[in-house]
A and B are shown apart, each in its own frame.
Chain A
Amino acid sequence: MNLALDIFTVSAVSAGALFFLAGTVGLLRFPDSLTRLHALTKVDNLGLGLVVLGLLPQTNGLFGALKLVSIWLLVQLSGAIVTQLIAGTVRRRGSNG
């Protein structure tokens, strides 16, 4: 049982870390600010989500797990809104900023 949970943690956290890497590659390769914003929001949010998912079995108790999930929700929600603000700034100035 413990081993199964550990395997779950290792695979989910690894997947999350890979998404962070992919997000960075996107920031490096994408041609303009707005496409880079896509990379930052969607990929990194998924990365954090997978890391949180992987850490859930390692927390003590239901509420510890809930705390991690609520941090992820907070990041996801504010990230979704802040990204639109930055995107609006980019659009008003033209894509090259």
Chain B
Amino acid sequence: MISFLLGAAGFVLMTVALALVVILRRPAEVDHMMAAQLLGTGGGAILLLLATATETPPIVDVALLLALFASFAAVAFVRSAPGQESEV
């Protein structure tokens, strides 16, 4: 079971890595803004899998903070995106 959960965490990490490469290589800034959200879901899944696999419940708290700050970062990105102030 432990190696299965770790393998799943590794698999999700791989898909997150691929998605990050795709997002960050695109020219449009809005694509970059999706990166924080991607880590909120993908990073959360990886951490929850690690917490169960290594039987370390405090890791679940890291997932909680990651979810909270990923959405905070996404709001900050949207707020400070270039061109935002010209549209007041």
Contacts and interface: CB of A to CB of B under 8 A. Distances in A.
Interface of A: 6, 9-10, 13-14, 16-17, 20-21, 23-24, 27-28, 33, 36-37, 40-41, 44-45, 47-48, 51-52, 55, 58-59, 64, 67-68, 71, 74-75, 78-79, 81-83, 85-86, 89-90, 92-93, 96-97
Contacts of B27: 97
B30 A20 contact: no
A17 B57 CA distance: 21
Interface in B1-49: 1, 4-5, 8, 11-12, 15-16, 18-19, 22-23, 27-31, 33-34, 37-38, 40-42, 44-45, 48-49
Interface string B59-82: 010011001101100110010010
What secondary structure prevails in chain A residues at the interface with B?
helix
Interface of B: 1, 4-5, 8, 11-12, 15-16, 18-19, 22-23, 27-31, 33-34, 37-38, 40-42, 44-45, 48-49, 52, 57, 60, 63-64, 67-68, 70-71, 74-75, 78, 81, 83-84, 87
8 contacts: A24-B19, A28-B22, A44-B38, A58-B52, A75-B40, A82-B37, A89-B33, A97-B30
